[in-house]
Amino acid sequence: MFEKFEAAPQDPIIKLIGMYRDDPRVEKIDVGVGVFRDAEGQTPIMAAVTIAEQRLHEAQTTKAYVGLAGDEVFNGQIADLVFGRSGVRDRVRAVQTPGGCGALRMLSDMLFRIASERTVWVSDPTWGNHYPIFRQSGFNVAAYPYLDRETKTVNRDALLGKLSTLGQNDIVVLHGCCHNPSGAELAPRDWDEIAALSAKNGFLAFVDFAYQGFGDSLEEDAYGIRALALAVESMVVASSCSKNFGLYRDRVGCALLLGGSPEVSDIARGHLLSTARSSYSMPPDHGAAIVARIMTDAALRQSWEDELTGMRRRMRSIRKKMSAILRAKSGGARWDFIADHRGMFSLLILDDSQVDRLRRDYAVYAVAGGRINIAGIKDDDQLARFADALVAVVAPAHPAPAT
């Protein structure tokens, strides 16, 4: 039976993890894998998570199913965190899912039931798993312009120009904040224009919200979603707790939808639950229960928000230092954009030979295209070695621009 299979292509990031693990060089630097790391190079368990998990362990008396929708306290708290307590909150419905990927896939499968003829538009570039997720549901997937590869900033005119041509036969996937892989952010005025275009032309906004709190703040990072919610009749959001709660392996996500009325939202949620039932049936409880305890306990929530602020400040600090040291070592402003980006990632626009040379000659592991995880840099010594490697690999072929 299985002889009919051809070998499946290996996921490039999974392959990179293995290559880094097997590299014996002590000076190796991992800026490829997309997890937050502290100054010791660890992905820590947040203090609030440790306390909430212990309390959960002490209080939990059963492992029976929670239900199709998962933890309803969790669902309500994530809906509040994402949409705020605005006038649309009564039209928001939420379903716990196995991670942000699970939310993306469940929403995609649900939408395909009623909108199979629509085209799903993703940004150029976008997170690598967007294409297979939406294609596996059955959608045709196309790309809209997003990144100016010269300036490494959002190509605002091209982006808005393309979105202005889309309408009721289109679904537009937007990164809520901390764009992966580029790090280039939409400004509030961009979100306002996108919201106006969605309301006017009728395309459905599908927001991937994996990094709330990693950009500017929990509230500021939600600006785009809330601007859309106030302008449109319908939209969907896939939220993840992997990054901002550090619950990567516990797979904690939430699928959220906004309908034109509470009644319409209830019906849509029913179809989302039906989609879940035919897939994974019941979501895992543990991680969501931890988040629910943190969000409903004032002291734990404050602890969580404080630690999240520290994580965000660490990434911002590394960005500023990296930009400054690259300016000093290269003699130009080529890398100044790194300080302006948000979240864990920046896309350096490197070709395959440059990425290979970083790995081969300097033990620096980056994703194809030159996506780097800022939080992968442990200390100033690693930062200096990373900067030396990048300048050595890039400078000969591309002289730095004048300041």
Cα 253 from Cα 386, distance rounded (Å): 34
Residue 23's Cβ-side half-sphere holds a number of Cα atoms within 13 Å equal to 19
Sign (positive or negative) of CA dihedral 76, 77, 82, 84? positive
Question: Angle CA(282)–CA(121)–CA(166) in degrees, nearest 5?
Answer: 125
Of residues 255, 194, 205, 195, the one with CA closest to residue 235: 205
- What are the beta bridge partners of residue 142? 121
Contact 174, 224 (CB under 8 A): yes
**Which sequence positions are flagged as catalytic?**
127, 208, 243
HEC profile of the chain: CHHHCCCCCCCHHHHHHHHHHHCCCCCCEECCCCCCCCCCCCCCCCHHHHHHHHHHHHHCCCCCCCCCCCCHHHHHHHHHHHHCCCCCHHHEEEEEEEHHHHHHHHHHHHHHHHHCCCEEEEEECCCCCHHHHHHHHCCEEEEEECEECCCCEECHHHHHHHHCCCCCCEEEEEECCCCCCCCCCCCHHHHHHHHHHHHHHCCEEEEEECCCCCCCCHHHHCHHHHHHHHHCCCEEEEEECCCCCCCCCCCEEEEEEECCCHHHHHHHHHHHHHHHHCCCCCCCCHHHHHHHHHHCCHHHHHHHHHHHHHHHHHHHHHHHHHHHHHHHHHCCCCCCHHHHCCCCEEECCCCHHHHHHHHHHHCEECECCCEEEHHHCCCHHHHHHHHHHHHHHHCCCCCCCCC
Of residues 121, 146, 101, 194, the one with CA closest to residue 347: 146
